[in-house]
Amino acid sequence: MTDDISQKLSRMILEGELSAGEQLPTEQSLAESFGVARTVIREAISRLKHDGLVDSRQGVGAFIAEPSARSAFRISPACFEKRQKLLEILQLRTGITSEAAGLAAVHRTDADLQFMDTAYDSMERSLSGGDAAAEKHVLAERSFYQRIAEASGNQYILEFLSMLDTRIDMELRSVAMKNARVTEWSAEVLAEHKAVLEAIRAQDETAASQAVRYHYSLAAQRLADRADLADT
Amino acid sequence: MTDDISQKLSRMILEGELSAGEQLPTEQSLAESFGVARTVIREAISRLKHDGLVDSRQGVGAFIAEPSARSAFRISPACFEKRQKLLEILQLRTGITSEAAGLAAVHRTDADLQFMDTAYDSMERSLSGGDAAAEKHVLAERSFYQRIAEASGNQYILEFLSMLDTRIDMELRSVAMKNARVTEWSAEVLAEHKAVLEAIRAQDETAASQAVRYHYSLAAQRLADRADLADT
DNA sequence: TAAAAACAGGTTGTCAGACAACAAGAGGAC
DNA sequence: GTCCTCTTGTTGTCTGACAACCTGTTTTTA
Identity of the amino acid at B104: A
Average pLDDT over residues A218-224: 84
Least reliable range by pLDDT among A78-92, A209-223, B171-185, B203-217: B171-185
Residue A21: closest CA among A57, A55, A70: A55
pLDDT-based confidence at A229, cuts 50/70/90? Answer: low
Residue B86 predicted with pLDDT over 90: no
pTM for the full predicted model: 0.89
- pLDDT tens readout for residues B18-66: 889 999 999 999 999 999 999 999 999 999 999 999 999 999 999 999 9
Residue A91 predicted with pLDDT over 70: yes
Nearest nucleotide (CA of A25 to C1'): C11
The Cα–Cα gap between B33 and B25 comes to 10
Please judge whether A50 and B6 are an interchain contact, meaning their C-beta atoms are less than 8 angstroms apart: yes
Decide: CB of B28 under 7 A of nucleic strand C.
Answer: no
Our CA-based measurement puts residue B156 at a distance from the nearest CA of chain A, in whole angstroms, of 7
Nucleotides on strand D lying under 7 Å from protein C-beta: 9-16, 20-23
- Kindly report the average pLDDT of chain B as a whole number: 88
Please judge whether A95 and B100 are an interchain contact, meaning their C-beta atoms are less than 8 angstroms apart: yes
CATH numeric code, A75-223: 1.20.120.530
- pLDDT tens readout for residues B180-228: 556 676 778 889 999 999 999 999 999 999 999 999 999 888 877 776 6
Our CA-based measurement puts residue A203 at a distance from the nearest CA of chain B, in whole angstroms, of 18
Q: What is the pLDDT of residue B136?
A: 82
For chain B, percent of residues with pLDDT exceeding 90: 65
Q: Where are the domains of chain B?
A: 1-71, 75-223
Give yes or no for a contact between A47 and B46, defined as CB atoms under 8 angstroms apart. Answer: yes
For chain A, percent of residues with pLDDT exceeding 90: 64
The Cα–Cα gap between B106 and A170 comes to 32
Q: For A158, which residue in chain B has the nearest alpha carbon?
A: B92
Q: How far is the CA of A13 from the C1' of D12 (A)?
A: 26
The Cα–Cα gap between B80 and B166 comes to 13
Residue B79 predicted with pLDDT over 70: no
Our CA-based measurement puts residue B68 at a distance from the nearest CA of chain A, in whole angstroms, of 6
CATH numeric code, A1-71: 1.10.10.10
Q: Read off φ and ψ for residue A58, nearest 5 degrees.
A: -60, 135
Decide: CB of B37 under 7 A of nucleic strand C.
Answer: yes
